Amino acid sequence: MMLYLASQSPRRQAILNDLGVRFDLLLPDQTEDAEALEIQLPNESAQAYVARVTLNKIEAARVRLKKRQLTFSPILCADTTVALTQSHRQEILGKPTSHEDAVAMLTKLSNRSHQVYTAVALIRSMDDQPEIIVSTTQVFFSELSAQTIQAYVKTGEPMGKAGAYGIQGAGSCLIERIEGSYSGVMGLPIFETCQLLKKASIPYILSV
């Protein structure tokens, strides 16, 4: 049994491959406005935001599957966001839009802790309600010099990543420690994903 992964993230694809999961990609075409699904609502918390975006994405994937007249298999979808809490106010840090935006984000994260929320959702049938789990990880950045930030941004790694860093690459040099799920910060929390796979009877490397 296989599933559809509604995500372009190579990190999520690599994690599923490591788990021995058979999957095909179910990606949006040029007629879909994928970015519109990620617009933040006023006063929305980061946890509510990432759950809503993930559910929006999996519903879009369900419609996509039907429109393309593909044979149904369970659909898996995930989304990750970074949040910085200061003075009881939570600021969501999405994907940087420019070199300068990435520098500004990393400057904010320097010598602070922040939260990474990753929601993973799965539908088991065409009429099924999605089951969703949100993973929360606390990430502690070391104090970053302006030169370090510039050097990291010049690698190009921050672009396309929430919070302007990737834990699985050179960005790991910036991180003092984490409390929570390393794979969740990568973009697909393995423990939570395996829970959903087991409920859907989708084989993975440790399924029995």
Positions annotated as catalytic residues are 79
Sign of CA dihedral 158, 160, 161, 164: positive
CA dihedral angle for residue 62, residue 65, residue 66, residue 71, rounded to 10 degrees: -120
Note the CATH number of domain 3-199: 3.90.950.10
pLDDT along the chain (208 residues), means of 10: 93 96 94 83 93 96 95 96 88 95 97 97 95 98 97 96 94 97 97 96 89
The amino acid at residue 127 is D
Closest CA to 74 of 136, 10, 120, 9: 120
Q: Is 185:139 a contact under the CB 8 Å cutoff? A: yes
pLDDT at 36: 82
pLDDT at 34: 77
Residue ranges covered by each domain of the chain: 3-199
pLDDT at 1: 84
pLDDT at 37: 84
